Amino acid sequence: MKTPTAKTKTDASKSASSKAATSKTATSKTVTAGRKVKAKSTAAEELRELYTDSLKDIYWAEKHLLKALPKMAKNATTETLINAINDHIAVTEEQVARLERVFELAGKKAVAKKCDAMEGLIKEGQDIMESTEPGAVRDAGIIAASQKIEHYEIATYGTLCAFAKTLGEDEALELLKQTLAEEKEADVTLTEAAYNSINFEAAEGEGDEDEDENMTEEN
């Protein structure tokens, strides 16, 4: 912003002093950058610890889910939902094995550490199954619980992928990405697809109430 008019001297001295200020800032920036590098190595170590802890958490979660899924399948009545849950048991078994490989890649023993979130999500699912009659509504409840579980897993694996990428765990990243894709797929098959195949109208005919016909309404 040079205005080529009068007061040249004043402008020149002003710009000189501002240049000095600029170079001062540059010097202090370099110092800060130097400090940052030092802090980074500690942060990386801490991130690695968080990564391992998160692996232990999801390892517990997947194993706990593996125990709960057969009960969910037993409680379901819609064929599409039963098949989706049974398919998910096989997929989850593979995910557990994949996690063991990820631990190995990180040079750690596969250890499960209780995941309070998954315990709570599964408990909510059990509560729904206990408080509903077998049939369409219980199926809807199982789907609702499954969706929450899948979303928790999607969030967890998404984070684990980011951690693995940052830590340069390339092989683990590929495995975690694979699981993340499976969780997203499970979310679709266990929820949207299964929900759309529930026959609420037939269930309605069975009972004596005929309140809401809009349960199966599509958006």
Residue 115 in contact with Zn ion, rule: CB under 5 A: yes
Give the x-and-dash track for 124-153 against Fe ion (CB under 5 A). -----------------------------x
Amino acid in position 131: S
Contact segment (CB under 5 A) with Zn ion among 72-80, 114-122, 127-135, 198-206 equals 114-122
Residue nearest to Zn ion (CB): 115
Contact segment (CB under 5 A) with Zn ion among 41-49, 59-67, 73-81, 97-105 equals 59-67
**Alpha-carbon distances, residue 56 vs 61, 125, 148, 169 (angstroms):** 9, 23, 20, 16
**Alpha-carbon distances, residue 140 vs 134, 144, 176, 212 (angstroms):** 10, 6, 29, 15
Residue 186 contact among Fe ion, Zn ion, none, beta carbon within 5 to 8 Å by kind = Fe ion
CA quadruple 192, 196, 198, 202: dihedral, nearest 10: 160
Alpha helix ranges (H) inside the chain: 8-75, 79-105, 116-131, 136-166, 170-187, 194-197, 200-206
Angstrom distance (rounded) from CA 189 to CA 143: 10
**Binds Fe ion (CB under 5 A): choice among 52, 78, 95, 191:** 95
Amino acid in position 87: D
Residue 61 in contact with Zn ion, rule: CB under 5 A: yes
Contact segment (CB under 5 A) with Fe ion among 47-55, 84-92, 97-105, 194-202 equals 84-92
Comparing CB distances to Fe ion, the nearer of 57 and 139 is: 57
Residue 169 contact among Fe ion, Zn ion, none, beta carbon within 5 to 8 Å by kind = none
Catalog residues that contact Zn ion under the rule CB under 5 A.
57, 61, 115, 117-118
